[in-house]
Structure 1
């Protein structure tokens, strides 16, 4: 029986080998090779057409060329190749970025073996595999429920970091060489952007989003 070809792209060697071993136990699939990052995959694809699989299992956080960049490249250059994200990242923004880049499925690395096999089968048969959570996320994105990424100016970042210290607003103004009135403007703008009501909310946002580290 001819098996469907799979390539794994993941910078964690042991995990990549474990996934390869697992996929090779599936009746309908076999792993052609593995890559440690997107650049390795690009080189493989461009070197020989025999290196182009039906499905790519793609990690996201990798050096040199990450999963989102690699997915965009594959989707544009080899649109018939199906890409399924296999990652530890489960935040909505990352999932949406990967799907918008061209991935046809998204699974977490702790997914059960039977689910991974089912996902691969549905991808080669139907062209996609979405869990209930991913489907709900896509619906939210279409209806505009998912928040857009907030863009901060450099001065706003600096202000947030200083707001996480014991400085008063007047001392922050002195530190940034700005007038207290300008600092009040930064504060009010950030309160509106982040939908927070006070400095505590601002500090909590900065820590949660790693703008300021304790």
Structure 2
């Protein structure tokens, strides 16, 4: 059976090895390699082209931290899914990591079963958000910011479709547009809301009654 490949990025060697050992014990995952910081990860990907499916990313690291590394990965390797694994509980840090492109945020004292569940959901659904992270995302959309946001009619239609399980290609067919045009609406909406993923968009749409599940 093909396994999803995982890279662990953490500046503490023993912890990195321990996390890697846990991941190796999961049936559907294997560790591709480990790195001490974000720069080492980027160098290894660029040099070897050994591109992982998921990166378990620490936040506070020397040379290149988790937020900066995630931003670079989101730009250069958008198919790589980043799952933050940190001791940082600060809401601003969590939000920065999610806005950088992380698909989820876990604490390092997470149970083994939840780590496995998070990895699976990131691969299957594209994200994994705990109750804490969901609250951070909701709280980040302050009323003062929301009142300033104006969407075009086509953007509103896109938002409603994006809150379903349809792919962007399927949304494009529904809207009688090209996939590229729909992706343009996505980028415009994400920019207005300062978001990096559909989860945040769904939360915003439900909270503002744009979409009713």
Name the TM tier (shorter chain): 0.5 to 0.7
Whole-angstrom CA distance in 2 between matches of 1:64 and 1:137: 27
Partners of 1:37 and 1:111 in 2: CA distance: 21
User: RMSD in angstroms over aligned alpha carbons?
Assistant: 1.3
Q: Distance in 2 between matches of 1:54 and 1:142?
A: 30
Partners of 1:98 and 1:60 in 2: CA distance: 8
Provide the rounded CA distance (Å) in 1 between the counterparts of 2:12 and 2:28: 25
Residue of structure 2 equivalent to 1:38: 38
- SS in structure 2 at match of 1:134: helix
Q: How has the CA–CA distance of structure 1 residues 140 and 47 changed in structure 2, closer, same or farther, with 3 Å as cutoff?
A: same
Query: Take 1:39 and 1:136, find their aligned partners in 2: how far apart are those partners?
Result: 31
Task: Report what 2:130 is aligned to.
Answer: 131
| Change over 3 Å in CA distance of 1:116–1:58 after alignment to 2 | same
- Structure 1 distance, partners of 2:67, 2:32, is 21
The alpha carbon displacement at 1:118 in A equals 0.2
Deviation readout 1:82-111 (Å, 9 max, x if unpaired): 001000000100000000000000000000
Match of 1:86 in 2: 85
Displacement of 1:68 after TM fit? 0.4
Alignment of 1:115-154 (within 5 A): 115-144=114-143
**5 Å matches for 1:6-45?**
6-45=6-45
Report SS of the residue matched to 2:85: strand
- Give the 5 Å matches for 1:45-124: 45-49=45-49, 51-124=50-123
Aligned to 1:30, what secondary structure does the other structure show? strand
Superposition TM-score, scaled by structure 2 size: 0.66
Distance in 2, matches of 1:43 and 1:80, equals 17
Q: Which residue does 1:195 correspond to in 2?
A: none
- 1 CA distance for matches of 2:70 and 2:12? 18
TM-score with structure 1 setting the length = 0.66
Aligned pairs, number: 145
* 1:7 to 1:144, Cα distance in 2 relative to 1, 3 A: farther
Measured at CA, do residues 108 and 77 of structure 1 come closer, stay the same or move farther in structure 2, by a change above 3 Å?
Answer: same
Q: Which runs of 5+ in 2 are unaligned?
A: 146-213
SS in 2 for 1:34: strand
Unaligned runs of 5+ in 1: 147-214
SS across alignment from 2:102: coil
The 3 A distance-change label for structure 1 pair 64 and 143 is same
